[in-house]
Structure 1
Amino acid sequence: MPDGLSYTRAKAFRREMTPPEARLWQWLRAGRMRRLKFRRQHPVGPYILDFYCAEAKLAIEVDGAVHDGAEQAEHDRRRTAWLSSTRGIRVIRLRATAVRDDLSGVLDFILEVVRERRGDR
């Protein structure tokens, strides 16, 4: 269970979304994407997920250039492994540039992963 600090940080992150996160949120919020319910800046254990769909146990992370560094990439790998092994959450990482330049393709990809997770094939 997340601690009080995680909830406080998540609340602050919701007010300070990056432009790509805000753009994607416009399509994920309020069931606009096939009535799927997503939460933004959702705390899970010691981590805060950019977007989370509980129905599909799917986390969506929008990564900017900071995630290209070796140290951050290793942190992301450990985080993804923890979420998968302890919570059964699948994490997909999207480049911020893909959200900016190919939002339609990004949304199609998210829907495909949700279908796969729910067994809708």
Structure 2
Amino acid sequence: MEKSKQLRKGMTPEELHLWYLLRGRRFYGFKFRRQMPIGSYIVDFACFEARLIVELDGGQHDDNHEYDLRRTAFLNASGWRVIRFWNNEFRTNEEGVLGAILDGLNRLVPSPQPSPKGRGS
């Protein structure tokens, strides 16, 4: 838990901006948590309702490719879907990144279907 607190204090500008957009159910009513421990890993942003993890990666992830693959495999095996974006991708295409996050959320959370009673009754 202490590591999560440290990471929350040391968020990148991109992470802080994305957190501003996701927090408090601002993003289409979905609840996100930041710097959440899941197993022995800490993820950037997690939506428990949709079992979706959003990661914003900086340049350090170029050097940690194998670690990231093991981490993602563990999270997937634990029932989570992980989507990753580079910090510069978020900076230059914020709308596209937010659209991809929304697509990921909508794919994982069933949308309400109209009641069959509503037809012809």
Task: Tell me the CA shift for residue 52 of structure 1.
Answer: 0.3
Aligned counterparts, 1:47-62, within 5 A: 47-62=41-56
Aligned counterparts, 1:76-95, within 5 A: 76-85=68-77, 87-95=78-86
Bigger Cα displacement from structure 2, 97-106 vs 36-45: 97-106
Task: Tell me the CA shift for residue 62 of structure 1.
Answer: 0.4
Moved over 4 A (4+): none
Identity percentage of aligned residues: 44
> Could you tell me how far apart the structure 2 residues matched to 1:92 and 1:120 are?
20
TM-score with structure 2 setting the length: 0.89
CA contact (8 A) 1:23 1:99 kept: no
Structure 2 residue runs without a partner (length 5+): 113-121
> Could you tell me how far apart the structure 1 residues matched to 2:83 and 2:111 are?
18
TM-score with structure 1 setting the length: 0.89
1:115 aligns with one of 77, 96, 106: 106
Task: Tell me the CA shift for residue 113 of structure 1.
Answer: 0.6
> Could you tell me how far apart the structure 2 residues matched to 1:68 and 1:36 are?
30
Task: Tell me the CA shift for residue 12 of structure 1.
Answer: 1.1
> Could you tell me how far apart the structure 2 residues matched to 1:43 and 1:12 are?
12
Show CA shifts across 1:5-33 (max 9, x none): xx110011111101110111110000111
Match of 1:56, SS? coil
> Could you tell me how far apart the structure 2 residues matched to 1:74 and 1:95 are?
17
Aligned length: 112
Task: Tell me the CA shift for residue 120 of structure 1.
Answer: 3.5
Alignment RMSD (CA, Å):
1.2
> Counterpart of 1:56 in structure 2: which amino acid?
A
| Max Rg structure | 2
